[in-house]
Structure 1
């Protein structure tokens, strides 16, 4: 079984990849496709990070304040209610020309978060729009819609829809993306204003990523993905990934709070990767 280790220049932005391998032409081809895998996982990761940021500010701004400071978020936060009532509520998270968050990541630009109602209310939607936004100079565009679709109060559930997504890496590589995931909360339900104990399970969904050379990758939830709010990365679960010469499975491991994952191709070749 062949193993290639992928290292990133920056944590959790998988489109900046160095591949440790020989000059074998097959490995060179594999390296290019692994870069596409890394970029795809980085897109998912950045979506999760921005969703976490949206959840943090939405929870912290439950009062009628017009400004807010949220622990762990290095940004100025302003809140407006365009119609004069409690909702809709628009929260502007402004990272300015750059500041480092608790994960030592530099964010620039703005996230515009719009709430139609309380996140715990069925039917309420949180929309996150990226405005001239980047993480470690990786430009991120698009909109994330997080809609409460709960039908059983003891099992909170949301759909996450990404539209017009785009990641542009430092080399100018462009990865457009879109997709929808279904997420259920499995822990922290009894403490709605405390996020640190929340655990989410992505039970189903598909995401598509189109690379600069036109290759389209499809990532489908194969085994539920476990995302702890307290962890930057997904800690467990599997994604089926197909497109170009790729046909295999991304495995996030054994629920450890780390940046490691594995891609296993249909022929059994396994690649250890790190975000």
Structure 2
């Protein structure tokens, strides 16, 4: 059971894309459509954190903090991984830069500090920070804290708390986005696989300087069946965003494995397909 649990935690940590929209200052917010460039930006932001999540868990496994000792991490052969067990600290050093077997370009350092001796222990936490770290040319800053909040034997559910603080992504042109989030993720095991239920909030500022907040109003649902087909967008759930005083709702559907999102805002709605 422990091996299965830790194997299933990885998709549960995928950063769920928060769709952020904005209206121009001189436009009528009732008649204007959302700024879809900002939507694409937020998927890029979440993809960067998602890559870090997978890297973190794979390195923890190979460092003896999980149930496997072999590494599945997508890192370059010359990446230096230093594990200081006394300080409970792991440093992943990509040096001046390299490209992984799967084509991900990384440079700088990712630093993991942890409590406990095994991630499956309740209250165990992992804090990820960065030193000059870049992925595919985007610099990542801030901290991400992952906490095991317990396992419910009766429902076969693992509870994970995930928090991003002082998140900042900077692009090569020096434009940047600010991002923070607090989430609770419940991973439930069933006969047909797992299902993840996600609730929480986020806030930040886009590269265009637009402030926003986001709230999950109906839990976002991710099914193993969908993940197996490469669809990481939740198959159900709703998000409410407040941008410049305007509430925008993103409806991810009612259970179908697809990449469509219905966006509703004052004056209209639109269906989007996310690649």
* Contact kept? 1:68, 1:77, Cα under 8 Å: no
* Corresponding residue number in structure 1 for 2:89: 90
RMSD over aligned Cα atoms: 3.6
* From 192, 199, 202, the counterpart of 1:204: 199
* Contact kept? 1:77, 1:91, Cα under 8 Å: no
* Corresponding residue number in structure 1 for 2:211: 216
User: CA–CA distance in 2 between the matches of 1:77 and 1:251?
Assistant: 43
Aligned pairs for 1:63-212 within 5 A: 69-74=71-76, 76-83=79-86, 89-96=88-95, 97-102=97-102, 104-117=103-116, 118-150=118-150, 152-153=152-153, 154-187=156-189, 199=194, 201-212=196-207
Deviation at 1:174, TM superposition (A): 1.5
* Contact kept? 1:226, 1:255, Cα under 8 Å: no
User: CA–CA distance in 2 between the matches of 1:273 and 1:169?
Assistant: 24
In structure 2, the CA distance between the partners of 1:168 and 1:124, relative to structure 1 (3 Å rule), is same
* Contact kept? 2:55, 2:74, Cα under 8 Å: no
Partner deviation per Cα, 1:223-266 (whole Å, 9 max, x = no partner): 333456765843434322221265323345656486x6554334
User: CA–CA distance in 1 between the matches of 2:232 and 2:171?
Assistant: 20
Any idea what SS the aligned residue of 2:41 has?
Answer: helix
Deviation at 1:205, TM superposition (A): 0.7
User: CA–CA distance in 1 between the matches of 2:273 and 2:107?
Assistant: 27
* Contact kept? 1:203, 1:225, Cα under 8 Å: yes
In structure 2, the CA distance between the partners of 1:147 and 1:232, relative to structure 1 (3 Å rule), is farther
Q: Normalising by the residue count of structure 2, what TM-score does the alignment of the two structures yield?
A: 0.70
Any idea what SS the aligned residue of 2:268 has?
Answer: coil
User: CA–CA distance in 2 between the matches of 1:198 and 1:133?
Assistant: 35
Higher normalized contact order (CA 8 Å, seq sep 6+, divided by chain length): 1
Any idea what SS the aligned residue of 1:70 has?
Answer: coil
* Corresponding residue number in structure 2 for 1:234: 233
User: CA–CA distance in 2 between the matches of 1:156 and 1:236?
Assistant: 20
User: CA–CA distance in 1 between the matches of 2:193 and 2:162?
Assistant: 17
User: CA–CA distance in 2 between the matches of 1:140 and 1:101?
Assistant: 21
User: CA–CA distance in 2 between the matches of 1:213 and 1:74?
Assistant: 34
Any idea what SS the aligned residue of 1:172 has?
Answer: coil
Aligned residues: 236
5+ long unaligned stretches in structure 1: 1-11, 15-24, 191-196
Deviation at 1:270, TM superposition (A): 1.1
Deviation at 1:69, TM superposition (A): 4.3
Q: Normalising by the residue count of structure 1, what TM-score does the alignment of the two structures yield?
A: 0.70
5+ long unaligned stretches in structure 2: 1-14, 18-26
